[in-house]
Amino acid sequence: MKIGIIVNPKAGDINELRIREVIQRLNPEEIHAGIGDLGEKYLKTSKIKVVKVKRTYSREETIELMKILDGLNLDLIAVFGGDGTMADVALAKPKTPLLCIGMGTTNVSPVLCPIDFNFNELRETRIDGLLLRVNKTERIAFNDVVIGSTILATIDGKKVQVDAERFIRGGKVITMPRKFYGVVDGLKRIEGYFGNIFVALTDKRFLGKGIAGGASLSAFLGFKAVVACVSEPIVVSTYTKEDLTSVEPIVTKTISFDDEVRIKANEVISCDGNPVKKLNDEVAEVKVVENVVRVLKP
């Protein structure tokens, strides 16, 4: 078996030992790995063929590495990183099946394979996603598109919320989230001051969960996606129980859709936890896209 390796060294929980354990379980005859800390650094074997890319130390080198590996007629490409890493490699539109191992801050993407997988139990699965467009910028999200002032990150091994706009400029600054004014246009319109706006594909896990509110009915009726406008910021990990009760009740307004929604706001928009840009009252379009990637999962 011939495999490719991509590692995002900036992901929140990269672990060299676990990377090697996964590769040993695959037992490949040939390994094509990204240069340095993009893959090569973590493997101690003579089977490696190093794939060079121009080092930009940004998401662009991850995408470029995926494009190169996808053209090598490999059996699979193993990707180690966070939810945002998986969304980034999807932009390369790979045809090769992906084995996505979560080593980020949250690790909730539907493309992820459990790290303790049994290779003989893996099956190819096609995964749908969301395509975000803001002017000429495009991104893919598998978990959600989020508008808000904070994202979750790992600092000194601890999960915290940081300022999303400053993160784009390379800083990790712990801060409390703020509310903003936003407008969502779909089959209906929602506007007002919100803590966060979320866009996500519906999920069978919502079925029968009345606690999920409108999202439960969206899934039951077969809508492909749902927007949730939340009255208070909830992308925060440093709250205590007392903090939460002080901002409750939290009110969520939802809109179901099958194709596309448009969102206007003056806050940062993120895909799977990775900030894309600060919206300066620009319109962001979020569209449902089917069969974005093929992944291997039990």
Token pair belonging to 230:
């939340």
Residue 118 CA to residue 106 CA, distance in Å, equals 23
Q: What is the mean pLDDT of residues 90-109?
A: 94
- Which pLDDT belongs to residue 43? 87
Q: What is the DSSP letter of 204?
A: G
- Which pLDDT belongs to residue 149? 98
Within 236-281, residue ranges assigned H as helices are 241-247
From the CB of residue 27, how many other CB atoms can be counted at a distance below 10 Å?
9
- Which pLDDT belongs to residue 56? 87
Token pair belonging to 249:
């009740």
**Which residues partner with 132 through β-bridges?**
139, 286
Number of helices and strands (H, E) in the chain? Answer: 6, 19
- Which pLDDT belongs to residue 12? 85
Q: Which residue has the tokens 């896209």?
A: 289
The length of the chain is: 298
- Which pLDDT belongs to residue 174? 96
pTM: 0.90
Residue 193 CA to residue 19 CA, distance in Å, equals 43
| Residue 270: closest CA among 254, 286, 256 | 286
Q: What is the mean pLDDT of residues 220-238?
A: 96
| Residue 89: closest CA among 46, 12, 34 | 34
pLDDT tens for each residue of 203-222: 888 888 888 899 999 999 99
Domains of the chain, first to last: 2-121 (3.40.50.10330), 137-290 (2.60.200)
Q: What is the DSSP letter of 134?
A: E
- Which pLDDT belongs to residue 183? 98
Residue 106 pLDDT grade (very low, low, confident, very high; cuts 50, 70, 90): confident
Q: What is the mean pLDDT of residues 250-274?
A: 96
Q: Three-state DSSP class for 122? A: coil
Largest pairwise CA distance in the chain: 59
**Cis amide leading into 249 (omega within 30):** yes
